[in-house]
Amino acid sequence: MDLVVIKQIKDKENGSFLLSKRRVDAKIVWKDIQDKFENNEIIEAPVKDVVKGGLVVDVGVRGFVPASMVEDHFVEDFSSYKGKVMTFKIVELEPSENRLILSHKAVVESEKEANKGKLMDELVAGDVVEGTVARLTNFGAFVDLGGVDGLVHISQIAHEHVKNPGDVLSIGQTVKVKILSIDKENGRVSLSIKDTLAGPWDAIAEKAPIGAVLTGVVKRLTSFGAFVEVFPGVEGLVHISQISHQHIATPHEVLQEGQEIQVKVLDAKEDEQRLSLSIKALEEKAANEAPAAEEKKEKKTEEYVADDSDANFTLADLLGDKLSGLKDDTEA
């Protein structure tokens, strides 16, 4: 048995020593860990405890895995890791300070990198596959396809406008994506979630039949009309001539972006993704009262002219004796 002398205990007659078997074992373990570190070897060990900053691992000596080095994606709760046997890469060690830092994330990343080339060859543009949301940015979401991360640009997340990817996606979420393009040379994959979802214009003629009255929100105002969203991802045009019975120079005179209004469907073309709407059509009843009143006024005027007593007389009748006098003078 190998023993380590801790200190000598002086005795007048016989010398004796304080010995430690634990320190002998620890020394051997540290030597083994040092060799594996220098050879860049992967070690396997159980997680003994979960602490605030990460995981405590038993490799013969105490090892620590910082929370940021546990996985290659965010993990909110590490409680399920306790008792789990995992693989680790040795990141840092200092035997004199009993300091051993390990990383499981480095192992995962190394494995993914090794499989990346093979996976890139297996991916086909146009295929629909499943993946896991790995990261969220302000311009989109990175989805892990099993070793290769692809980007879903913010414009490809949903049919409707998405202001922040975090509003509709979460890290760790499983999603279906369509592969748009593959750049093997640069290791880039473009994906779309939107293309796996039913289109907002599908069966639009059934959702918005001609004559239907819908509630929508004014999204954009232009010089020629207003675009109103009546369903998520479906905007119809209210032409300026269909906004009001009164003459308006621009839509801004009577409408505001973000305003909720009611519109009537004039026409729906699914293949062209066009929807013609009208605000004025919902005000036709009130608008028709004015022409009716005007027509009634004109009718009364006609009746008045028709009842004029002079209308039934000739010019000769109206001039009477004056015309006779003129005739006598001519004969004379």
pLDDT in tens, the chain (332 residues): 444 555 555 554 555 555 566 777 788 889 999 999 999 999 999 999 999 899 999 999 999 999 999 998 888 899 999 999 999 999 999 988 889 999 999 999 888 777 887 888 889 999 999 999 999 999 999 999 988 899 999 999 998 889 999 999 999 999 999 999 999 888 899 999 999 988 888 889 889 999 999 999 999 999 999 999 999 889 999 999 999 999 999 999 999 999 999 999 999 998 899 999 999 999 865 445 445 445 544 444 444 333 343 444 344 443 444 444 444 544 44
Q: How many CA atoms lie within 13 A of 179 on its CB side?
A: 20
The pLDDT of residue 291: 52
The pLDDT of residue 301: 40
The pLDDT of residue 109: 87
Q: Contact at 8 Å (CB) between 55 and 68?
A: no
Q: Where do the H-state alpha helices sit in the chain?
A: 21-38, 105-122, 204-207, 284-306, 315-319, 321-331
The pLDDT of residue 203: 86
Report angle CA 213, 267, 245 to the nearest 5 degrees: 65
257: Cβ–Cβ under 8 A, 6 or more apart, which residues? 218, 219, 220, 221
Domains of the chain: 20-107 (2.40.50.140), 123-196 (2.40.50.140), 198-332 (2.40.50.140)
In the chain, the amino acid numbered 195 is D
pTM of the entire predicted model: 0.48
